[in-house]
Amino acid sequence: MAENDLFFEDVAVGDDIPSLASRATLVQMAMYAAATWDFHRYHYDKEFAQSKGFPAPFVDGQMFGGLLTRMLISWTGPNVVLKKLNVKYRVMVFPGEMIICMGKVAQKYTEGGENLVRCELWVENENREKVVAPANALLALPSKSINMNGVSS
Amino acid sequence: MTKESLVTPEIKAMVGREEVFSSSEELGRATIHRFAVAIGDSNPLYLDEEFARNTRHGGIIAPPTMIFELNHNLGGEISEEDGGYLDKVTLPAPLSRFIRGGNEYEFFQAARPEDKITLKRKVLQVFEKRGKAGPLVFVNVEITYMNQKGELLGINRETLIFMLE
């Protein structure tokens, strides 16, 4: 087990998840496009985006899933299993905007030998508009007692 | 007064159609590294084999949402016009603009550098809604990801929203 593990016993309903701020820049959007081999002009070509009626290139929605996951696993440590993540996109995000990923613990329960935590998540822009909401994640956390894999922590 | 539906028989015929795409090569650590860098994630779980070996995962894994972007990495042909893949889910003109409505990801097993990915893509549903700025056509797509052993890695159910030009 790693030093920074968050255990099931450490978590309470209502706990805030440490937020994650990230600035969307054209460079970062191009990096995401390149890393995912998604070369759609929506995400880097201003002229093309405007020709389709959008004010500027916009962030690929799936990147928010990546950022929310980064926030979650930074919080829990590596000995977590992400089971589900649902996201709804509300407002488009354009280059230069600061976005903040946030969340809180909504529910904790044990099922099928797993220690599960459901988190409510959302992403805000600088104007406090929710750009991603609602979002939900289901995580299996390690336990301080001997877990189902027989691994004692 | 009835108005002609934007969901033409041609569009309706997409529902239930299943397509399979397979990668002939392993993901590799470089793919994982680049994705981690792109989301600003320096977690050693994705980058440091020794660190990752001592976690419950037993080795480097891909950041969880990465596999759901692998639709692209399978090497389809790209349109010079919009940069999109020719085999992507798309609707005919005049519904050529689209945005993403939502994603529901379900994770069964982490993807690893040695995995060769096969995905199955199926259109589940197509329906029309009236938005503030005009009619919208919603397309629900389900994409299932497996590794070379036929083990299920994840399912992505996504909603694409198509708009008039």
Q: What is the pLDDT of residue B98?
A: 87
Residue B46 forms part of a structural domain = yes
Name the residue range of residue B148's domain: 9-163
Amino acid present at A103: G
Residue B40 forms part of a structural domain = yes
The upper half-sphere exposure of residue B146, i.e. CA atoms within 13 Å in the direction of its Cβ, equals 12
The interface pTM score, or ipTM, of the predicted complex is 0.93
Chain A residue numbers with beta carbons less than 8 Å from the beta carbon of B97 are: 52-53
Residue B2 forms part of a structural domain = no
CA distance A37 to B76: 10
Count of the separate structural domains present in chain B: 1
pLDDT tens-digit series, residues A45-77: 999 999 999 999 999 999 999 999 999 999 999
Residue A37 forms part of a structural domain = no
Closest CA to A121 of A90, A142, A95: A90
Residue A130 forms part of a structural domain = yes
Name the residue range of residue A122's domain: 8-23+61-140
Distance from CA of A32 to the nearest CA of B (A): 5
The upper half-sphere exposure of residue A38, i.e. CA atoms within 13 Å in the direction of its Cβ, equals 23
| Chain B contact probe: residue of A37, A75, A82 with most B CBs at under 10 A | A37
Please give the model's pTM, rounded to 2 decimal places: 0.94
CA distance A120 to A137: 7
Enumerate helices (H) and strands (E) in chain B, giving the number of each.
3, 5
Do B105 and A86 count as a contact with CB atoms less than 8 A apart? Answer: yes
| CATH number of the domain that residue B29 is part of | 3.10.129.10
Residue A147 forms part of a structural domain = no
Query: How many other β-carbons are positioned within 10 Å of the β-carbon of residue B19?
Result: 12
| Chain A contact probe: residue of B29, B41, B132 with most A CBs at under 10 A | B41
Count of the separate structural domains present in chain A: 1
Terminal CA-to-CA distance of chain A, rounded, Å? 6
| CATH number of the domain that residue A78 is part of | 3.10.129.10
Quickly list DSSP for B76-125: --B-TTTS-BTTS----TT--EEEEEEEEEEESS---TT---EEEEEEEE
pLDDT tens-digit series, residues A92-133: 999 999 999 999 999 999 999 999 999 999 999 999 999 999
CA distance B165 to B153: 37
